[in-house]
Amino acid sequence: MNKEELKEKYGKKRVPHEWRKTDWFTTLVVTFFGSGMSPKAPGTMGSLAAAIIAYPMAWLALRQFGNYVWSISGKAFHFGFFINPFFLATALIVFFAAIPFVNKAMKDTGTEDPGWIVIDEVCGIFMTLAFLPTYTIVHYPWFLAIAFGLFRFFDILKPLGIHKFEKFPGAWGVMADDLLGGFYAGILLELGTAIAVAIGF
């Protein structure tokens, strides 16, 4: 047998990706513009794509809305305990808007939470960033790397009851655990930032 015949007989068969079974627009949404099509670590690639696109989003938000945050004390600080309404709204919009697309993708392909669906990771990254001021994201972009790392920690290990949210039916389970993971990551990011500022780091 020649090389090609050996490859054909014993080589690993190339199976078409499952996402090919649904329509192109649904694929575009659930793979977040194709980032979920990565053959290795699609969840990481989807999260990374979301973290990268978050920078120009923050830049535009800062120009349009300023550094407005919701604070417990009613005052806006660059660091402290607060919620960034822009990224909170973005995370919730992505969450609810993605539900029908995720359901359709899983139904069309006969899968349940396949790795190439990464719109849930995108939602989680945006939720994490809801605990950072827009000013901080724009002027200290290395915070995006910290947010990315913290979110991936919670997304992969799923501690503190996150895994229970996966049991929600259909797309709700796909999306909810990442939203909660983003919430935990954001809280930890904000606490760490507040401590660093308090000790003058």
Asked if residue 30 belongs to a domain, the reply is yes
Asked if residue 93 belongs to a domain, the reply is yes
State the residue for tokens 């014993």: 10
Asked if residue 8 belongs to a domain, the reply is no
Whether the Cβ atoms of residue 110 and residue 10 lie closer than 8 Å to each other: no
Residue 72: its pLDDT value, please?
60
Look at residue 179 and give its three-state secondary structure: helix
Asked if residue 4 belongs to a domain, the reply is no
Number of independent structural domains in the chain: 1
- The model's pLDDT over 99-156, given as tens digits with 9 standing for 90+, comes to 999 999 999 999 988 999 999 999 999 999 999 999 999 999 999 999 999 999 999 9
Asked if residue 177 belongs to a domain, the reply is yes
**pTM of the prediction?**
0.86
- The model's pLDDT over 26-41, given as tens digits with 9 standing for 90+, comes to 999 999 999 999 888 9
CB neighbour class for 172 (10 Å; exposed up to 12, middle 13-18, buried from 19): middle
Determine which of 40-54, 60-74, 111-125 has the lowest per-residue pLDDT on average.
60-74
> Between the ranges 32-41, 60-69, 86-95, 133-142, where is the mean pLDDT highest?
86-95
Share of the chain above pLDDT 90, in %: 66
**Residue 149 is part of which domain span?**
17-198
DSSP 25-76: HHHHHHTTTTGGG-SS-HHHHHHHHHHHHHHHHHHHHHHHH-S--EETTS--
Asked if residue 6 belongs to a domain, the reply is no
Asked if residue 12 belongs to a domain, the reply is no
**Dist CA 15 CA 54 (whole Å):** 34
Asked if residue 183 belongs to a domain, the reply is yes
